[in-house]
């Protein structure tokens, strides 16, 4: 068994999350960055059966984002991290960062973000 870190950066999803009613009603883009630590035999077997299929991780994040509207980025990130650990036993640590690239503030910013890490 080996410890492997898989990263998915910039998974772009449209969601109805935010602190204001308008954000939740109109929706906006969110970018998800996943850093997943696996305990796996995949480095020896070169088999998808012994690792995490990226498509499945991305699909779960979409499912969680679509399931309900979150007020806080940190709550959305936590739901994703916890969901990844529950669904995929190979994941030992799930770190999820949710970025909001279209945030509007008085002074322009690139994005706002929250990062949550959960472990078994």
**pLDDT tens figures, 7-20:** 999 999 999 999 99
Beta-carbon count within 10 A of 23 CB = 19
The pLDDT of residue 104 = 82
- Tokens 């990263």 appear where? 7
Note the residue count of the chain. Answer: 120
CB neighbours of 70 closer than 8 A, spacing ≥ 6? 15, 17, 76, 79
The domain spans of the chain are 2-119
Q: pLDDT tens digits for 39-98?
A: 999 999 999 999 999 999 999 999 999 999 999 999 999 999 999 999 999 999 999 999
Distance CA 61, CA 64 (A): 5
Averaged pLDDT for residues 108-116: 96
Task: Kindly report the CATH number that applies to the domain delimited by 2-119.
Answer: 3.30.1130.10
Three-state secondary structure call for residue 100: strand
120 in helix, strand or coil? Answer: coil
Identified catalytic residue from 100, 101, 111, 117: 100
Q: Can you give the pLDDT at residue 43?
A: 95
- Phi and psi dihedrals of 71, rounded to 5? -80, -40
Annotated catalytic residue 31: no
Cα separation, 22 vs 61, whole angstroms: 23
């Amino acid at each position: 068994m080996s410890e492997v870190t898989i990263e998915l950066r910039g998974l772009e999803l449209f969601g109805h999350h935010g602190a204001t009613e308008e954000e939740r009603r109109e929706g906006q883009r969110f970018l998800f960055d996943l850093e997943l630590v696996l305990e796996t035999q995949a480095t020896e077997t070169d088999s998808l059966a012994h690792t995490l299929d990226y498509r499945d991780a991305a699909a779960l994040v979409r499912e969680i984002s679509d399931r309900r509207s979150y007020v806080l980025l940190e709550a959305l990130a936590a739901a994703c991290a916890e969901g990844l650990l529950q669904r995929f036993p190979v994941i030992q640590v799930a770190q999820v960062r949710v970025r909001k690239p279209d945030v509007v503030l008085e002074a322009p910013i690139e994005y706002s973000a929250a990062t949550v890490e959960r472990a078994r």
